[in-house]
Amino acid sequence: MKIGAPKEIFAGENRVAMTPNSAKALQKLGYQCLIETGAGAGARFSDQDYKDAGVEVVKTAAALWKAADIVVKVRPLNSAAEEKRVRKGQLVISFFYPAQNAEQLERMKDAGANYIAMDMVPRISRAQKMDALSSMANIAGYRAVIEASNNFGRFFTGQVTAAGKVPPARVLVVGAGVAGLAAIGAATSLGAMTFAFDVRPEVAEQIESMGAEFVYLDFEETQQDGAATGGYAAPSSPEFREKQLEKFRELAPSMDIVITTALIPGRDAPKLWTKDMVEAMKPGSVIVDLAAERGGNCDLTVPDEKIETENGVTIIGYTDFPSRMAAQASELYATNIRHMMSDLTPEKDGNPVQNMEDDVIRGATVTFDGAVTFPPPPPKIRAIAAAKPKLPEKTAEEKAADAAAKARAQGRQQIGLLVVGGLLMLLIGVYAPASFMQHFIVFALAVFVGFQVIWGVAHSLHTPLMAVTNAISGIIILGALLQLGNSSVLVVILAAVSVLIASINIVGGFMVTRRMLQMFQKS
Residue 333 is a catalytic residue: no
376: which DSSP letter? P
Contact by Cβ (8 Å): 112, 88? yes
- Point out the catalytic residue in the list 46, 48, 79, 128: 128
Given the residues 22, 32, 90, 134, select the one marked as catalytic: 134
Are 506 and 476 in contact, with CB atoms under 8 Å apart?
A: no
DSSP annotation of 13: -
d(CA 59, CA 55): 13
The amino acid that residue 417 corresponds to is: L
Query: Residues 6 or more apart from 19 whose CB is under 8 A from it?
Result: 40, 43, 45, 330, 331, 334
Half-sphere exposure of residue 439: CA atoms within 13 angstroms, side-chain side: 11
- Cα angle 292-270-222, degrees, rounded to a multiple of 5: 135
Q: How many CA atoms lie within 13 A of 372 on its CB side?
A: 13
Distance CA(69)–CA(136), nearest Å, equals 26
**H-helix or E-strand containing 327?**
helix 326-344
Residue 131 appears among annotated catalytic residues: yes
Q: Is 142 considered catalytic here? A: no
Residue of 32, 85, 119, 131 marked catalytic: 131
Tell me the longest C-alpha to C-alpha distance in the chain: 104
Do residues 208 and 214 lie in contact, with contact meaning Cβ atoms separated by under 8 Å?
A: yes
**Element containing residue 440 per DSSP (H, E):** helix 434-455
Q: If residue 467 lies in a helix (H) or strand (E), which one and from where to where?
A: helix 462-468
Which of 50, 115, 142, 232 is flagged as catalytic? 232
Residues 6+ apart with CB under 8 A from 406: none
Q: Which residues of 303-336 are buried (b: 16+ CB within 10 A; e: fewer)?
A: eeeeeebeeebbbbbbbbbbbbbbbbbbbbbbbb
Residues carrying an active site annotation: 123, 128, 131, 134, 232
